[in-house]
């Protein structure tokens, strides 16, 4: 796997510049070719610059204030879907691998915000 060390400092720099507030940064949506076939996925460049995460259906939430936090929302691990769609980190592995303070399944985004 690639080196993920540049991403936490990038997030930290943005959080320092924000001082207070919340940034919600989604990645690009998947593009449907036809029916259930998709084009090869291309992540959003701004999202990837800050997160290093290259899977679809993901949102980065940066929380600046007294405590600084970076939180990822992404798809859960699903071995059956991974056969067809390819590898998924899942929230726990994504947090550990990319250095997020927390990670949750994407379907919890509305509740957590």
pLDDT tens-digit series, residues 18-52: 999 999 999 999 888 888 787 888 899 999 999 99
- The dihedral over CA atoms of 38, 1, 78, 42, expressed in degrees to the nearest 10, equals -20
* Neighbour tally for 66: CB within 10 Å: 5
pLDDT of residue 44: 93
Domain range for 28: 7-112
Q: Is residue 67 part of a domain?
A: yes
Give me the chain's average pLDDT, please.
93
Domain count within the chain: 1
pLDDT of residue 1: 57
Q: Is residue 58 part of a domain?
A: yes
Closest CA to 75 of 56, 100, 60: 56
What are the strands, taking DSSP E only, across 1-113?
A: 21-26, 32-34, 37-38, 59-64, 69-74, 102-105
The CATH code of the domain that includes 70 is 3.40.350.10
Q: What's this model's pTM, rounded to 2 decimal places?
A: 0.92
pLDDT tens-digit series, residues 96-106: 999 999 999 99
pLDDT of residue 41: 86
Q: Is residue 2 part of a domain?
A: no
């Amino acid at each position: 796997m690639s080196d993920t060390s540049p991403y936490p400092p990038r997030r930290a720099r943005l959080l320092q510049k924000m001082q207070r507030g919340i940034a919600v940064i989604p990645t690009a949506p998947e593009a449907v070719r036809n029916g259930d076939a998709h084009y090869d996925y291309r992540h959003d460049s701004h999202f990837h610059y800050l997160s290093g995460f290259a899977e679809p259906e993901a949102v980065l939430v940066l929380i600046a204030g007294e405590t600084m936090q970076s939180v990822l929302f992404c798809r859960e691990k699903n071995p059956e879907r991974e056969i067809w769609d390819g590898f998924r980190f899942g929230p726990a592995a994504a947090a550990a691998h990319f250095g997020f303070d927390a990670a949750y399944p994407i379907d919890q985004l509305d509740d957590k915000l």
